[in-house]
Chain A
Amino acid sequence: MRRPGLLASTWVLFWKDLLLEWRSRARVNALVFFSLATLLLFSFALGPDTALLRRNAGGYLWLALLLSSVLALGESFRVERENSSLEGLRLVPVDTRSIFLAKGIANAVLLAALGVLLVPVLVALLDVRIVLSWGRLVTIIALGCLAIAAPGTLYGAIASHARARDVLLPLLLFPILIPALVAAAKGTALVFEGDPMTQFPSWIALLGSFDLLYWGLGFVLFPRVVEE
């Protein structure tokens, strides 16, 4: 038997993670309703000032995604904890870096899909308009979700060993995500409001650098995290 390399095993595990998400659609539905409820709560909490709501719409989108990501990330490691499946993968043996890549990408895809789904809700709820292109919006959503997914997957694996894992994950994750959150929210606000000062590329560059750093760190550190 010729074992697959890093990329091939990443693909197999990515397919497995998506299949697990599809099979447990109730969890995905819960995630969608949670993020919708978060957006609604922001608009209720801030009152009927539509100009204010529209100006901050990018921030609301990313806070809704960030809060939802904690559920998604926790869930992605719950299925690995059940029946010690993660240990089962280690003993196959699978290159543990491919587990990180597959799970990180699957988490990013799930969050990005959620982000795209929330945009029409923002349009309807907060009267937001896409002033720049849809392409730029999709780019910033993709980069922002990759920025959440990389450290989220790494810290999700760390927190999955702890008893207070539901509390530990946001405590570890939220502080380090602040630069990515700022860049994603500012970039999204520019897509909604227009970019007269051509600031959009700078935020994209910041997000891209954050992604490179944390995907690189996760790739190197994940094997140490999942080994006993």
Chain B
Amino acid sequence: MELAPALQLHEVSKRFGARWALVRLSLTVRRGTALLLTGHNGSGKTTLLRVLATAVRPSAGKVEVLGVDAARDPESVRAQVGLLGHANYVYEDLSGLENLAVLARLLGAPASAGSEALERLGLSPKDDRPVRTYSAGMRRRLALARLFLKQPAVALLDEPFVELDPAGVSELEARIRELHAAGTTLVLATHHIEQGLQLCTDRLHLEQGRSIAIAA
């Protein structure tokens, strides 16, 4: 039996000024799929993830996430989607736990959820230093902890391995596998193709905002 689509793009285009980042892109990603997104810098990977997360609106076309029209009901889409982008979405003057406490309360999650998410990513909940003093790798882990705290049905990961040490990379791979095993639909954009192929079931290659190849 074919699974219902988690993500559907119909002729989606996105323009920034005079430059087209996505050009009439159509795509269907079934639920539970782990899609590897590859392409050179500027090929449109980040824009595609941001369109799917409703962080930016497409200039043309229609995006559906879990059957919901993203233009009509972005709130419902956002509730189901987690984006790990280039920005970490954290407050520099708060500690890691305080950052996650704010998110947990906004999500209606239990108070202990923040500590658990930090521990899963190898960060100490007792570390009360502001994020400003964290290393780049620790910030990335904190951003990932935000994503795991949300427990999204669709996880959009943009270069998740950047700034992580080898131990962090292995840990993250294990967490991504956990997410996928739990039924989360994944879209992973990375230049680390070997790593990505080990984690993903399907692959989409983008060039200049156009889909060049889709392979299972």
Decide yes or no whether A216 CB sits under 8 A from chain B.
Answer: no
Report the minimum CB–CB distance from B20 to chain A (whole Å): 17
Decide yes or no whether B214 CB sits under 8 A from chain A.
Answer: no
* Of the residues B54, B98, B108, contact of A91 by C-beta under 8 Å: B54
The distance in angstroms between the C-alpha atoms of A13 and B78, with both chains bound, is 18
The distance in angstroms between the C-alpha atoms of A79 and B146, with both chains bound, is 18
Residues of chain B lying within 8 A (CB to CB) of residue A228: 55-57
Interface of A, secondary structure class, is helix
Report the minimum CB–CB distance from B143 to chain A (whole Å): 9
Decide yes or no whether A4 CB sits under 8 A from chain B.
Answer: yes
A4 and B89: CB pair below 8 A? no
Decide yes or no whether A16 CB sits under 8 A from chain B.
Answer: yes
Decide yes or no whether A20 CB sits under 8 A from chain B.
Answer: yes
Of the candidates B55, B98, B102, the one having the most CB atoms from chain A within 10 angstroms of its own CB is B102
The distance in angstroms between the C-alpha atoms of A83 and B53, with both chains bound, is 17
B91 and A85: CB pair below 8 A? yes
A93 and B92: CB pair below 8 A? no
B105 and A83: CB pair below 8 A? no
Report the minimum CB–CB distance from B51 to chain A (whole Å): 10
Query: On chain B, which size bracket covers the interface?
Result: 20 to 34
- Mask: chain A, 177-188; 1 = CB below 8 Å from B; 0 = not: 000000000000
Decide yes or no whether B88 CB sits under 8 A from chain A.
Answer: yes
Which positions 65-93 of chain B face chain A at CB distance < 8 Å? 74-75, 78-79, 81, 83, 85, 87-93
Q: A1-B108, A1-B109, A94-B106 in contact; A84/B89 too (CB < 8 A)?
A: yes
Report the minimum CB–CB distance from A197 to chain B (whole Å): 48
Residues of chain B lying within 8 A (CB to CB) of residue A2: 108
Decide yes or no whether B103 CB sits under 8 A from chain A.
Answer: yes
Report the minimum CB–CB distance from A70 to chain B (whole Å): 21
Report the minimum CB–CB distance from A108 to chain B (whole Å): 21
The distance in angstroms between the C-alpha atoms of A154 and B99, with both chains bound, is 24
A20 and B91: CB pair below 8 A? yes
Q: State the interface size on chain A (CB cutoff 8 A).
A: 27
The distance in angstroms between the C-alpha atoms of A92 and B105, with both chains bound, is 11
Report the minimum CB–CB distance from A12 to chain B (whole Å): 5
Decide yes or no whether B182 CB sits under 8 A from chain A.
Answer: no
The distance in angstroms between the C-alpha atoms of A4 and B54, with both chains bound, is 21
B94 and A23: CB pair below 8 A? yes
Q: A23-B94, A91-B83, A228-B56 in contact; A16/B102 too (CB < 8 A)?
A: yes
Residues of chain B lying within 8 A (CB to CB) of residue A93: 74-75, 78-79
Name the residue of chain B whose CB is nearest to the CB of A88: B89
Q: A23-B130, A91-B53, A228-B56 in contact; A85/B89 too (CB < 8 A)?
A: yes
B103 and A92: CB pair below 8 A? yes
Decide yes or no whether B111 CB sits under 8 A from chain A.
Answer: no
Name the residue of chain A whose CB is nearest to the CB of B109: A1
Decide yes or no whether A9 CB sits under 8 A from chain B.
Answer: yes
B87 and A3: CB pair below 8 A? no
Report the minimum CB–CB distance from B130 to chain A (whole Å): 7
Question: Which B residues are within 8 Å of any A CB, using their own CB?
Answer: 53-57, 74-75, 78-79, 81, 83, 85, 87-94, 98, 102-103, 105-109, 130, 146, 150-151
Excluding A3-B108, A12-B102, 10 further A-B contacts by CB distance (< 8 Å) are: A9-B106, A20-B91, A20-B94, A23-B94, A23-B130, A24-B93, A83-B89, A91-B53, A91-B78, A94-B106
11 inter-chain pairs at a CB distance below 8 angstroms, sorted by A residue, are A3-B106, A13-B106, A16-B94, A19-B98, A20-B91, A79-B92, A85-B91, A87-B87, A88-B90, A91-B53, A91-B54
Closest 5 CB pairs of A and B: A88-B89, A84-B87, A93-B78, A23-B93, A1-B108
